[in-house]
């Protein structure tokens, strides 16, 4: 069964094609037969498209203009050139999309219908960077592939069991009744990494107290107990919590009131500032990409140093909050672009928690670990670097829905 996955992030887009059989449903590591990645951080209004298939890697420049044209250019590499893996698009059975915001109405993956599309559209103001792209991706597939089954896999779904004491905000109760509460995001990744950690440690997930650190251009932590998310740093929108590539994370809300009264900021100006001009980008004035920040730090740039120091401080701060929710910790997980690839971020984060008996093995940490425990043998907390596979998790959800709904064409 051939499953196409579309995963649009804030700084990248990844598309994969899986060819799954019955034996693949419960596995945690399956290679797609085709991968197409776009990195939007390299150049303004342009991205680098990298396609991998048949042992071949191709690179191309793609413009950030018409999203449907982008998708069409990407998908054409499935049926053309050295990366061709299909005779035609009709071989694709189903398409899965990572949808960032599902709100209170979607606690599980669901087949996309006009009502689901309308719901995704209605939530765009709460996740403007993502839900708009997600919806455009769905519409692009409709135009290019026609009436193929499509599935929405929601990032918020994994956090739907967070207890009300963690989910509710201390504002008038009437707003909770109107749906203003903590939803959490990156749930597909947090869930996958919790299950993968259980597999790596050879321990039942129900026996673990984990904090999973999804650190990319967007960042969030999740406190996971007995396989259930009980707290997380992102909230009503993906803006809350940690300092990120271009997002501020949590700040004093009175700052916004001050900017409105003193400087006549509009809602749109505040939204742009907090979501696209803050974080690493705003503090350093250089880039939203940690690699550029670290390079500037090594060159003696003081603003880059401040940005890095703030990032680590806030990461430690929120990690401490997750420990409080869990009432302990036996496994700390790092994942996503920064979490998987930045040894210095892992090292600086762990330094602050040595008092818990958490001990990082520096040699293991610096040796590009993948799906590996990098704690010392005598550490009381295991520290695992996991390559998150959101796309595989999405494909497995598509498999289940395809068979449950009897969607065979």
Tell me which residue has tokens 């705003």. Answer: 282
Tell me which residue has tokens 């670097």. Answer: 385
In this predicted model, which residue has the larger pLDDT, 228 or 106?
Answer: 228
Is the full-model pTM beyond 0.85? yes
Instruction: Please compute the mean of the pLDDT values over residues 274-293 and round it to a whole number.
Output: 96
- Does pLDDT of 55 surpass 70? yes
Strand partners, 382: 331
- Does pLDDT of 40 surpass 80? no
Q: 202-385 belongs to which CATH class?
A: alpha beta
Would you place residue 44 in the very low, low, confident or very high pLDDT band (cuts 50, 70, 90)?
A: low
Nearest to 8 by CA among 43, 50, 36: 36
Annotate 142-152 with b (16+ C-beta within 10 A) or e (fewer): bebbeebbbbb
- Does pLDDT of 204 surpass 60? yes
In this predicted model, which residue has the larger pLDDT, 158 or 48?
Answer: 158
**Average pLDDT score over the chain:** 91
Residues near 173 by beta carbon (within 8 Å), at least 6 away in sequence: none
Instruction: Tell me how far CA of residue 106 lies from CA of 122, 154, 155, 157, 183, in angstroms.
Output: 13, 7, 10, 7, 11
Distance, CA of 239 to CA of 248 (rounded, Å): 7
Instruction: Please compute the mean of the pLDDT values over residues 89-115 and round it to a whole number.
Output: 91
Distance, CA of 259 to CA of 255 (rounded, Å): 6
Q: DSSP characters for 163-198?
A: -HHHHS-SS-HHHHHTT-S---S-HHHHHHHHHHHH
Count of other CB atoms within 10 angstroms of residue 189: 25
Count of other CB atoms within 10 angstroms of residue 312: 18
The full set of domain ranges for the chain reads: 2-161, 202-385
In this predicted model, which residue has the larger pLDDT, 361 or 179?
Answer: 361
Q: What is the pLDDT of residue 289?
A: 94
Distance, CA of 330 to CA of 382 (rounded, Å): 6
Q: What is the pLDDT of residue 45?
A: 65
State pLDDT tens for residues 142-163: 999 999 999 999 999 999 999 9
- Does pLDDT of 167 surpass 50? yes
Strand partners, 59: 50
Would you place residue 24 in the very low, low, confident or very high pLDDT band (cuts 50, 70, 90)?
A: low
Nearest to 157 by CA among 107, 191, 220, 193: 107
Most confident stretch, 90-104, 236-250, 391-405:
236-250
Distance, CA of 64 to CA of 13 (rounded, Å): 12
State pLDDT tens for residues 314-337: 999 999 999 999 999 999 999 999
Q: Name the DSSP class of 375.
A: B
Any alpha helices (H) in 80-210, and if so which ranges?
114-122, 131-145, 164-167, 173-177, 187-201
What would the CATH number be for the domain defined by 2-161? 3.30.420.40
Would you place residue 409 in the very low, low, confident or very high pLDDT band (cuts 50, 70, 90)?
A: very low
Distance, CA of 14 to CA of 149 (rounded, Å): 19
Q: What is the pLDDT of residue 105?
A: 79
In this predicted model, which residue has the larger pLDDT, 5 or 12?
Answer: 5
Among this protein's residues, is 155 annotated catalytic? Answer: yes
The residue from 93, 155, 231, 373 that is catalytic is 155
Instruction: Tell me how far CA of residue 33 lies from CA of 60, 266, 273, 370, in angstroms.
Output: 19, 47, 40, 21
């Amino acid at each position: 069964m051939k499953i196409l996955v579309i995963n649009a992030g804030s700084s990248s887009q990844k598309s994969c094609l899986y060819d799954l059989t019955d034996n693949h449903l419960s596995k945690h590591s399956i290679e797609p037969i085709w991968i197409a990645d776009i990195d939007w951080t390299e150049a303004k209004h342009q991205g680098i498209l990298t396609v991998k298939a048949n042992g071949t890697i191709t690179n191309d420049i793609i413009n950030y203009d018409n999203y449907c044209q982008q998708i069409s250019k990407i998908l054409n590499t499935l049926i053309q050139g050295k990366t061709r893996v299909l005779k035609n698009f009709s071989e694709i059975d189903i398409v899965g999309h990572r949808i960032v915001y599902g709100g209170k109405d979607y606690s599980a993956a669901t087949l996309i219908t006009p009502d689901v599309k309308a719901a995704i559209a209605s939530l765009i103001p709460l996740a403007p960077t993502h839900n708009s792209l997600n919806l455009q991706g769905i519409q692009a597939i409709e135009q290019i592939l026609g009436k193929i089954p499509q599935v929405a896999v929601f990032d918020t779904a994994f956090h739907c069991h967070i207890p009300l004491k963690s989910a509710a905000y201390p504002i008038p109760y009437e707003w909770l009744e109107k749906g203003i509460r903590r939803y959490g995001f990156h749930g597909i990744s947090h869930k996958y990494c919790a299950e993968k950690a259980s597999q790596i440690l050879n321990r039942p997930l129900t026996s673990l107290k984990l904090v999973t650190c999804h650190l990319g251009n967007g960042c969030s932590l999740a406190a996971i107990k007995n396989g259930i998310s009980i707290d997380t740093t992102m909230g009503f929108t993906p803006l809350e919590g940690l300092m990120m590539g271009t997002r501020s994370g949590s700040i004093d809300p009175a700052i916004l009131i001050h900017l409105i009264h003193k400087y006549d900021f509009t809602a749109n100006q505040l939204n742009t500032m907090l979501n696209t001009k803050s974080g690493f980008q705003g503090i350093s004035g250089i880039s939203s990409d940690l690699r550029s920040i670290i390079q500037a730090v090594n060159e003696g740039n003081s603003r880059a140093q401040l940005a890095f120091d703030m990032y680590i401080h806030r990461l430690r701060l929120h990690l401490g909050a997750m420990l409080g929710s869990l009432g302990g910790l036996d496994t700390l997980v790092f994942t996503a672009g920064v979490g998987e690839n930045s040894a210095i971020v892992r090292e600086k984060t762990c330094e602050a928690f040595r008092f818990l008996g958490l001990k990082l093995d520096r040699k293991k940490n610096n040796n590009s670990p993948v799906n590996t425990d990098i704690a010392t043998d005598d550490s009381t907390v295991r520290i695992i670097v996991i390559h998150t596979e959101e796309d595989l998790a999405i494909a497995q959800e598509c498999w289940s829905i395809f068979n449950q709904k009897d969607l065979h064409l």
